[in-house]
Amino acid sequence: VLAGLVFGVIAALVVDNLDDRLLDVDDIERATGLELLGVVHDGGSYREARSVIAARAPDAHRILVCAASDATVLGVTADLAVAFAGLDKHVLIVAGEPADPSAVEALGVPISPGLAELAAGRIAPFAATHPAPAMVRVSVLPAGAGGASVPELSATAKGRQAMSYVASGFDITLLSAGSARATGSVDLATACEGVIVVATLKSTHLRDLEAAVEKLSRLNAPMLGVLVRRKLGVIQRPRLARPAKA
């Protein structure tokens, strides 16, 4: 019995040491060198995180939101958009990640027309964006028909020009780009004034977070910090980054 107890304790210690999931927000700065932008949950208030982001990048008009792993960040991007719209700003969400079309439709907008049709010259710029019915002063630019993602479309000269033209009509553009390690996300990061990496407590692995930040940093992407999602029922006291000095 004693031997079994000792073996159980040793096995538990081994499993704990091998588990590199993000369990504490204090691990973020130690692992990545980036500061914490806030701790949020889907559908909750993003105002405090918005204030930190706005203080760190007051002149950023185009911000990339990407995941440390392969998780979707369209919901996080939408909640951030609502928070910025609360400052009486008009916000554009670019649904750039290669996600299920139902994720875009969940925002109450169609999946097309969008950037693909605009880049091809088949529609006018105003027809490519769709006001989100449940979000005041927020519009969505989907990828459009044809199966190509926004990163793929923005890799072309016409796609970049079309997206820049549409974004110029909004105060802030938030690009939801999926995994930070994907080639398309990296390409979009270099065209933005700020990059936010999203990690999830008790889900995101620190090795994935480190790899994502390292890949973006090698390209001198303008990193703003890490935004942490927590699942309901997971209590964690955030220690927010200090606003950047003017």
**pLDDT over 60 (residue 235):** no
Q: What is the pLDDT of residue 104?
A: 86
Give the Cβ contact number of residue 216 at 10 Å.
Answer: 23
Q: What is the pLDDT of residue 180?
A: 83
Q: What is the pLDDT of residue 234?
A: 40
**pLDDT over 60 (residue 201):** yes
Q: How confident is the model at residue 241 (pLDDT cuts 50, 70, 90)?
A: very low
Stretch 234-239: mean pLDDT: 39
Q: What is the pLDDT of residue 13?
A: 39
Q: What is the pLDDT of residue 119?
A: 87
Q: Give percent of the chain with pLDDT exceeding 90.
A: 48
Q: Please say whether the beta carbons of 198 and 229 come within 8 A.
A: yes
From 116-125, 147-156, 189-198, the region with the lowest mean pLDDT: 147-156
Strand partners, 94: 141, 175
Tens of pLDDT, residue by residue over 135-190, are 999 999 998 887 777 777 777 888 888 889 999 999 999 999 888 877 777 778 88
Q: What is the pLDDT of residue 188?
A: 83
Q: What is the largest CA-CA distance in the chain?
A: 76
Q: If you average pLDDT over every residue of the chain, what do you get?
A: 83
Burial call 166-194: b when 16+ CB within 10 Å, e when fewer:
bbeebebbbbbbbbbbbebbbbbbeebeb
**pLDDT over 80 (residue 62):** yes
Q: What is the pLDDT of residue 70?
A: 74
Stretch 111-140: mean pLDDT: 92
* Phi and psi torsions of 192, nearest 5°: -110, 165
Q: How confident is the model at residue 60 (pLDDT cuts 50, 70, 90)?
A: very high
**pLDDT over 80 (residue 107):** yes
Q: What is the pLDDT of residue 9?
A: 42
Stretch 199-223: mean pLDDT: 92
Token pair in block for residue 29: 């700065």
Tens of pLDDT, residue by residue over 21-59, are 999 888 898 889 999 999 998 767 899 999 999 999 999
Which pTM value belongs to this model?
A: 0.84
Q: What is the pLDDT of residue 98?
A: 57
- Please give the Cα distance from 65 to 80 (Å, whole number): 10
* Phi and psi torsions of 187, nearest 5°: -65, -40
Strand ranges, E, within 170-222: 172-179, 194-200
